[in-house]
Every structure is written in C-alpha cells, then in structure tokens.
C-alpha cells in the first residue's frame, strides 16, 4: 500500500477587476470577480516543495489585470477563453485550466455614473485542456417570486408527514442556473440575455404544481430558445413563505400575510439537456472522470 | 457606591413579514424586516426576573403580523407609526417605543410575478414617547459609482503620508442615508421617492474634490427639494478602486483597469440640517439625552 | 432658513494589521481590525472640496501600520490611546478622534503556530478630545448557552399574546458587551480577562427568570469585580431554541430536541453602572451632546 | 432532437437541530445543521407536477427531528447513516440519498453551560444507494497560521510575473478537508478526533516550501495514522499576509507587521489517497458517473 497524490489544482481566486471603457464622454463599466484554477504536473511541488512548474497565483492575478487592458473585455466568456487558453498554451507543465467569472451589473445613471443593480449576477466558467475549450454561462442570485399560481399536493405521506396540501401558495426562489454551450464560439452576450430572459419568462408563466415542474420548464425554455446551448443545470432553493395563522387574534388570512423563513429551505436541483448533447468533457468539473479511476 | 440599572430596552428584532395585496388578478407585494424596541419600567425584570411589566417579544412579533392584516401597509412610515403608538398606548409600563423597518424592493414581472431588485433598501425608524412621534426615513445599500469627475488633492501631508494626488479617480460608495421629518404626517412614499432621487442626482452631478463635498451636496439636495425634511445623516464608505500598475508588463493604464478593494475603506459620515430644525428629541436614539445624566 | 453642516467625522475603517513578535524561537501573534474616525474643522472640505485640513484616510492606515512597528501593541487599549492622541495632537484642525479595534484571538499550537479561536472577539474604543481620553473595552461574538435553569412566565398578556409560559428552556445569546473605564491608564489585559470572566461566570451561575435578569447579573458582576470600571452596556440577542413538537410522530420530547431559529430573535439591551460614575463625555459617541443642540 | 431530464435531486437543506442529553445534572449538547438530498424516479414531478413519488422536504425535516429523539445522535456519521438509509429503504421511488451534516462545537462551562467554540466545524456526508453506503468525514473553517518556517521561491517566471521570492513568510489557511472511510462502520468520533489532530500536527510541523507541500503532508498524515481512511481531499485558501513596506516612514520591518488581505487569495486543492483505495462510488457526488453519459 502506498499513499499517492490524486487530482489537484491551484490558482488565484476572486480577483476583483473593474474596467472603464472611455468613449469620449460616455463610459462603459465592467465589474468582475475572476477565479483561476490550473492543473498539470505539480507533483514535485506537493512532494518536495520544488516549484519549478508553479506559475505563481500572483502572476495569474497580474495576467487577469493585464489582459483587461491588452484585449479588453467584450464578454466574460471571451475574456475567460483568452485567459484559460493563455495559461495552458504558455506553460508546458499545465494540462488544464479553468476560469470562473462573476459579472456584477450596474444601471446607467449618466454618461459616467452608475448604480449597482442587484437583480442577479452573470457568470461564466471556461475550461480548456490544451485542445478543446468548454464554455458554461449562467446566472446566480436572481430572486424570483410568484404570489399565486402555485400548488403543492398529491405527495407521499409517511409516518413523519404533517404538511398540509395547498392549492395556493407563494413560490419563491433564488435562481442559480448554468448552461453549457455546444461550442466555444458565439455571440455571448446575446446568448446570455436571451437565455436569462427565457428562464425568467418560464418561471413567470408556469402554473406550478411543484418547484420541480417549474425547474424543468425553465431549463426547457432555455434550450428551446437557444440552439447553441445543449444542457442546463439549475439549483433552486425553495424560499418558503408560510401563511401566518392569525386566528388567535380573531383575524382571517386569505393568502395575505406571510412569514419569509430563512432556514431550513427546500433545495431542488436538476439538469435538462438535449438527447444529442455532446459529452460534457471537463465543462462541469476540472477533474471529470476521476471518480472512475 | 451602588450599582444601578441605566437605560434599557428590549424587543423582537428582524421579523420578516411579506404581504400580498390581491386586487383581482393584479397583486402588490410588500416585503419587510421589522424590529421593535421598547423601553419603560422594566427594573423588576432586571432585578428579580419579575416579568409583570414585560410584553413578550413573541407578542410583538404577533402584533407585527396582525397589523399587516388589520390595517395593511400603505407605507413603512405609517405602519411603523401605528405599531410604535400601539405598544406605548396599550401598555402602561412602557414609556418609549421604536420601530425600525427595512423594505426590500421588487420589480414587477407580471400581474403576480416579481424579481427582487437589489438597488438599495428603503428604511424607516419611528420613535414614540406616548406624546410625540418622530419619523426618520432613509435608504441603505444603494451603491453608486462615478467613473470620472472626481479628484483628490491639496490634502495635509505628514510623516506618514504617501498618497499621490489625483486629478481623475473612480468615486464609489454604498449610501446609507437617513432623513428626519419635521412632523409625523406626510405623503411618505412620495417623500421617499423624491428624497432618494435627490440623493442620486446630487451624487451624479457633483464634480467632486472630496467625498465630503459629495456628501454635503447630497444632503443639501434632499433638504432643498423636500420642505418636510429637516435633517439628513449620511454614512458613505469610500469604496476604493485603485488603478493597477501595468508598467511591469509594458502596458499603460489610462484610467482603465482598476482593482476594487474590500478593506480597508474610507468612511465619511456627516449631517446636513436646516438651522431652524426642531430639536431631534428621540428621533435618532431611544436613549437620547442620557449622556448628560 | 439656511442649510448647514452638522456633526461630521471621517477616517479609515477596517485596517487589518497582524503583528508577529519574535522572541527567538517563540513568536507572539496579534491580529487586529482597526478603524479610525476623526472630527474637526472640516467644513471647507464639505463646502468646496478644499482639503487643506484633511489628513487622508490612507495616511491614517499608514500610521496604524507604522505605530505597530514603532511602539508595538501591548494591548489594544494602549495602542488605541496612542493612535487617538497622535491624530489630534499633531493635526491642528482636528478636535476629536476615535479608534475602534477588534482583536481576534488565536490558540497556540507551537512556538510559531496558531489556530484561530472563535470564542469571542476582544474590542476597545478609545476617544480623545485633545484633553481627555475615554477608554471602553469589551467583547463581541461570545456565544453562550445554558441548557436549563431558565424560565419565562408571569409576563403581560394582551390580545396578541399566544406564548406559553415555560419553567425550563434553553437560554442562549451572543454577547456584545462594552465597559467604560474610569480613567485612561490601567492594566488593560488583566482588566479585560477578568471582566470577560465575570460576564461568563454570571451567565453560567444565574438561575434566570428573564434574559433581562441575566443581563443585569452580568453587568453587576463586572462592576463588582473591577473597581476601575464604571459602566457596562450589554446587547444580548435571545437566540431562540424552540422545543420541537414530536407528538404527531408518537414521540414525547422532554426538553431534548430543539430547533435553533435564525430570525426573528429577541434583543435585550441594557446598561449597568455605578451611581457615582463620572459623566461619560465622548466615551460612547464621538458626537455626544449634539442631540441637545 | 429531444429535450430530456437529466440527473436531479431534491431535499431539505439546513435543518438546525439542537439536542440536549440530560444525564441528571450534567447535560451533553449536540448542535447540528442537517441537509438532505434525495434522488430517484421523480420524472413526473418535473414533467407534469405529479407528486406521487415526492416525499415532501417538510417530511424530511420532521424526520431529522424525530430521529434525534428516537435514536439519539452518537456521532454525525451514525446519525447520517440512519437517515440516509431510512429514506431510500422506506420510499420505493427513491434510489439514492445523501445526508450532509455540520456539527458546531461548544466548550463546557458548567454542568449545563456551554460556550460556542469557533475553531472549526466537524462535517460528515453519508451517501446511500439502497445497497452500499459511503461515509466521508471532515472539518471546515479551521484557521491555521505559521508565522515562520514557510518559503516560496524557484517558481516559474513569465512576462506577467512580478512576485519576489521569499525565504520567510506567514503561511495561513482556512482548512476544508474531507476524508473517505473504507467502510460504513467505525468508531466515528475517535476517527474524527485523530484525523483532525493529524491534519493540525502536519500543518504545524511541516517546514513549507509551498502550500502544496503542506497540503500533501496533511493528507498523508491523516492516511498514515488512520487505516480506516482511504482518501483525503483538501481545499486550502492561501490567506495572504503581506509584509508592510515601512521604509517611507524611516522604519524597517523585519517580518513583524503584516497586512491580512481579504481578496484575492490563492486556492490550493488536492487529493491524497491510498493506491489501493476502493472506487469512490457515490462517496463524493450523488451524480457520480454522469459526466460519462
């Protein structure tokens, strides 16, 4: 029996880069949080602390900043692709790279004035293995609520079930969704805007008998609308809103006053994909396949 | 020498109440976080645990829910006034009450569908002493950024000063502002909307030589525009954006690529008021005046 | 009617300084978060952006670091006093300063190895007006729990009261306490250690009929034990633990299984002081007295 | 081309359960955060909202509480195993379950008094597929620091590298570690205590030339010491402490004053395992293997 090193990766996480593009009076603002993870032949750094193959995480941070100036940031997918390719293509010891980016949105107030918008964060994760690149786009922290058109009944009852069936409830969630692109080229921002819009529209228009049903409708709407996308993964916390019992105070409560609960919460997660989707490769995990070792 | 009980208050904090107003198909959503603090003759509860004068915090929570149903929530100021008055007017042992409310805003997506907006939280704090009520309205978590029209120079230099002067920088802040009303009646929501708009407009339109200058302009704009308001208090973190030095990589950086820093940050706080403002009483502090004991 | 500038202050918040004292092999670690607030004649900076009286917050940060090297950090009170005095004594335009410090504690693992301890953060706030200094020490994030010896009954009941009386409950809180020193000299660390110990001992040994009673016992214990202290302020959230109703599952629950709730929570705040305590001056607020303007 | 449902799971997340075991005067306290995820034949719930196969997440929460009373909580691994098995064994539509538990530690202050300890959270994740169970134990939020015996040099330099080599730096991290058990029976608490102790000892005693080297030493130490464990996964943020340049103030800084940075941070992740470790199955992921579809 020997003890060995398995999968490993390292990188600089959460580099906060803000870029101002000045087009005369009118400025454009891009506000990002960039995380890099790199894998390759790093055995000696683990075994003996020999760092001959280690590109410092400080250098990765510098590269994130320098690329923002050298190449601009048209979309986070393109910027991520450039960074991911750079690391593997220039460092012989590296075999795989992953660049994960969050983009915070701002509303325009004037030619060079902005207010941070809090209605969801755009995300992208690009993975590259020296040969192929995978792009996953997405959104997180997008909080949606339907104040009706949601029911929940007909569920399993066992010894521990006390939940009442309901024909009218609030359905609220904080969407985290990621969608995989078939290829590594695209009109990234249009694709993002329309995928996000499809998600939201499906949430709004689905008469829901379960959050699972809403999840599936959301994933399907993205794929129906965007042929360049092949798979959607959704993580939907069920942000419970419980009707308050006002009877002790001589009051009825016809779906009007709710307590918004913090914890616990339901968590519904699911994947919707095309049946001819190409294999995901490393799109979803830098260490994909290792469970089969 | 004796040891005595000084100022004290107690209450239920952070009751999360969501109200749906159903006007046929079209719903209105109100999403609040309500905190209650009560003061009065509570000495025995402290000395001996005799709770004969203690209205339980659980009851306060129930009242928050029940009032949402009985009286609705037209504005957080009015709802807060009703709650603050109720506790003191119905409990002989209580002398002062304070109700602090945060209101989360949602954008409409459909007749009964909403997306949480993250562009600032509306606040109100109502204090009542059995006779007079004070109302303070405000906003928090409103993140604003000007990408130019901000300078900083001409400051004091001492042995520990290394900061370079700048003629062009990013100015960014997360506004927390509170404004005191002259009276306890008003068109609360119009007042809020226009005070908030005045703050934002002043931030956008001020060519800033210091964040203090911007703060003063913001406070003044609120008071100029709204005669019912007499005092504005602002707390403005200076969310530093530092220009990245790209010279080591053979690149210039003409105000384009910045690092958004977390900590430390500047913190600029100030009050702007009318010179004929009535005394604040308990508007800003439930224990006002006790420093003079 | 004119609009005027009221109280204002500014400074650098949350400067994170870590100091290693190397005594041969054995190191000592000090881990702080330092916030500075300064007040004085800053009217012009507000009115016109003339910064001739503004010592940059960047300089304040530098001073925090430099003083850690020049003078060491024996205790946060002494370090805070030195910083607070420095700013006012060297800047003619400044009239008051406040230095607030959090100290994170670490457990020793070896001569130069440490594990962060999460059992409360030591705090100090020093205020100076060019003449007198005030020192407030304290602790925050100290989470305590008694699993019995707590009752709650005999409280007021009104129309909105549904709470059952209880003769045995969990009492849990996250202590934030601050205590004012009579003077500005002392054996700060011994004083802190023993005040903290008195707080904890009082929490543990008080058979509690209300959290108010526990609060008072805690404050009194600090003052009985430490003659150099004159006033204690406590803020105690009542971290509710509700007994779960297991009857639907055919199980009893004799004080055994609880749900730990997040929100809402009770919040009990109170002051305990000596009746001959000197006036607090600016100990508790940099703008003390302004409510009386 | 059709759109299909892929992997999915659902459950109740973050149920906070506190258990008091009363052995006469002396109480034992267990404080947990329990998350359940279930997978099985849930296609109809997604397609049509037919919930005939859905055990409500509310029921899962009830089960968490009821089991704490019925069976007690000897260790989180055993409690997790019982819950994971229960759901799949009693619900014909379910094929896999995962129970993830965080245990917060408390220090004893008296027979029934406790202070929350903040020095790391014990974790366990149990997965069950109706046949086999996998147990992963671990720790998170364990913050460790060596104030010397850490170097970093000999690394790759490219166009974007500006980092200076260092022969003496602070090495600090917040450990998240998980270790897989060979089987599903064991002396769980002894195993945990000794694995944790091995991790800490390895961190303290490793003279580190890279955080990777420390990571590997930590993983190896766990496996050397505990034959029942077969694989360790570590995620180690490099919590940077930068030496402050005090030269502008005429001061040297011989490894004494540091700034503790928030972001960005290095993130070093790696696996250490026995070369004869059994295949992980679903130990690490409820959806293991699906990347190969």
pLDDT digits (tens, 9 = 90+) for D43-96: 999 999 999 999 999 999 999 999 999 999 999 999 999 999 999 999 999 999
The CA distance from B291 to the nearest CA of chain D, in Å, is 33
Residue C98 contacts residue C126 (beta carbons within 8 Å): yes
Residue A15's H or E segment, with its range, is strand A15-23
C90, with CB counted inside 10 A (0-12, 13-18, 19+), is middle
Cβ of residue D142 closer than 8 Å to a chain C Cβ = yes
How far apart are alpha carbons A83 and B235 in whole angstroms? 39
pLDDT in tens, A69-95: 999 999 999 999 999 999 999 999 999
For residue C125 the two structure tokens come to 């706030």
CA-based torsion, B177, B183, B184, B189: positive or negative = negative
Cβ of residue D275 closer than 8 Å to a chain A Cβ = yes
The CA distance from D207 to the nearest CA of chain C, in Å, is 12
Q: Chain-centre distance of CA A100, in angstroms? A: 9
Q: What is the DSSP string of C69-116?
A: HHT--S-HHHHHHHHHHHHHHH-TTEEEEEEEEEEE-EEEEETTEEEE
Residue C67 φ/ψ, nearest 5 degrees: -65, -35
Residues of chain D with Cβ-Cβ distance to B265 below 8 Å are none
How far apart are alpha carbons A183 and A74 in whole angstroms? 18
Q: Which of A27, A43, A57, A189 is catalytic?
A: A57
C167, with CB counted inside 10 A (0-12, 13-18, 19+), is exposed
Buried b / exposed e over A255-266, threshold 16 CB at 10 Å, is ebbbbbbbbbbb
How far apart are alpha carbons A19 and A17 in whole angstroms? 7
What is the model's pLDDT at position B290? 73
pLDDT in tens, C22-34: 988 999 999 999 9
The CA distance from A108 to the nearest CA of chain B, in Å, is 10
Cβ of residue B262 closer than 8 Å to a chain D Cβ = yes
Give D8's contacts (C-beta < 8 A, 6+ positions apart): A212, A215, A268, A269, A270, A271, D39, D42, D46
CA distances from B224 to A126, B44, B221, B229, C137 (A): 51, 48, 5, 9, 42
Residue C12 among the catalytic residues: yes
Residue B12 among the catalytic residues: yes
For residue B111 the two structure tokens come to 């007749």
**pLDDT in tens for each of the 293 residues of chain B?**
799 999 999 999 999 999 999 988 999 999 999 999 999 999 999 999 999 999 999 999 999 999 999 999 999 999 999 999 999 999 999 999 999 999 999 999 999 999 999 999 999 999 999 999 999 999 999 999 999 999 999 999 999 999 999 999 999 999 999 999 999 999 999 999 999 999 999 999 999 999 999 999 999 999 999 999 999 999 999 999 999 999 999 999 999 999 999 999 999 999 999 999 999 999 999 999 875 44
Strand, coil or helix: what is A25?
Answer: coil
DSSP secondary structure code for residue B148 in this structure: S
Residue B199 contacts residue B222 (beta carbons within 8 Å): yes
- The DSSP bridge partners found for residue B258 are A18, B243
CA-based torsion, C79, C82, C88, C92: positive or negative = negative
How far apart are alpha carbons B58 and C242 in whole angstroms? 12
What is the model's pLDDT at position C293? 41
Strand, coil or helix: what is D282?
Answer: coil
Please report where in the chains the tokens 């909080």 appear, as a residue. Answer: A143
Q: Chain-centre distance of CA B55, in angstroms? A: 27
Torsion of CA B239, B245, B249, B253, to 10 degrees: 80
**Vertex D95, ends D91 and D99: CA angle to 5°?**
85
Residues of chain C with Cβ-Cβ distance to A259 below 8 Å are none
**pLDDT in tens for each of the 293 residues of chain D?**
799 999 999 999 999 999 999 988 999 999 999 999 999 999 999 999 999 999 999 999 999 999 999 999 999 999 999 999 999 999 999 999 999 999 999 999 999 999 999 999 999 999 999 999 999 999 999 999 999 999 999 999 999 999 999 999 999 999 999 999 999 999 999 999 999 999 999 999 999 999 999 999 999 999 999 999 999 999 999 999 999 999 999 999 999 999 999 999 999 999 999 999 999 999 999 999 875 44
Buried b / exposed e over A164-191, threshold 16 CB at 10 Å, is eeeeebbbbbbbbbbbbbbebebebeeb
CB interface of D with C, residues 144-203, below 8 Å: 144-149, 170, 200, 203
Residues of D classed as catalytic: 12, 57, 240
Q: What is the DSSP string of D178-231?
A: EEEESSS-S-HHHHHHHHHHHHHHHHHH--BSSHHHHHHHHHHHHHHH-TTEEE
Residues of chain D with Cβ-Cβ distance to A264 below 8 Å are 12-16, 57, 61
Numbers of helices and strands, H then E, in chain B = 5, 13
Residue B30 among the catalytic residues: no
Q: Which domains does chain A have, with CATH numbers?
A: 9-129 (3.10.270.10), 132-293 (3.10.270.10)
Instruction: Flag whether the pTM goes above 0.95.
Output: yes
Residue A73 contacts residue A83 (beta carbons within 8 Å): no
How far apart are alpha carbons A283 and A286 in whole angstroms? 7
């Amino acid at each position: 029996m020997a003890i060995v090193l398995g999968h490993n990766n390292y990188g600089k996480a959460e580099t906060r880069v803000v870029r101002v593009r000045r087009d005369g009076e009118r400025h454009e603002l891009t506000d990002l949080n960039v995380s890099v993870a790199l894998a390759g032949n790093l055995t000696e750094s683990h075994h003996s602390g020999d760092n001959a193959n280690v590109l410092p995480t400080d250098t990765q941070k510098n590269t994130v900043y320098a690329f923002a100036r050298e190449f601009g940031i048209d979309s986070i997918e393109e910027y991520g692709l450039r960074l991911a390719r750079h690391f593997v293509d220039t460092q012989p010891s590296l075999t795989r790279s992953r660049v994960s980016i969050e983009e915070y949105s701002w509303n325009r107030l004037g030619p060079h004035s902005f207010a941070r918008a809090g209605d969801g964060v755009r995300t992208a994760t690009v993975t590259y293995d020296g040969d192929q690149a995978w792009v996953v786009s997405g959104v997180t922290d997008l909080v949606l609520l339907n104040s009706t058109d949601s029911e929940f009944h007909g569920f399993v009852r066992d010894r521990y079930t006390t939940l009442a069936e309901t024909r009218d409830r609030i359905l609220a969630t904080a969407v985290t969704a990621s969608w995989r692109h078939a290829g590594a080229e695209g009109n990234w921002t249009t694709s993002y805007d329309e995928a996000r819009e499809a998600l939201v529209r499906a949430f709004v228009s689905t008469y829901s008998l379960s959050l699972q049903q809403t999840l599936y409708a959301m994933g399907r709407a993205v794929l129906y609308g965007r042929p360049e996308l092949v798979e959607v993964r959704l993580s939907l916390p069920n942000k419970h809103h419980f009707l308050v019992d006002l009877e002790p105070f001589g009051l009825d409560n016809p779906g009007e006053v709710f307590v918004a609960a913090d914890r616990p919460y339901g968590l519904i997660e699911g994947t919707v994909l095309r049946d001819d989707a190409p294999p995901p490769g490393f799109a979803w995990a830098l260490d994909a396949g290792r469970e089969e070792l």
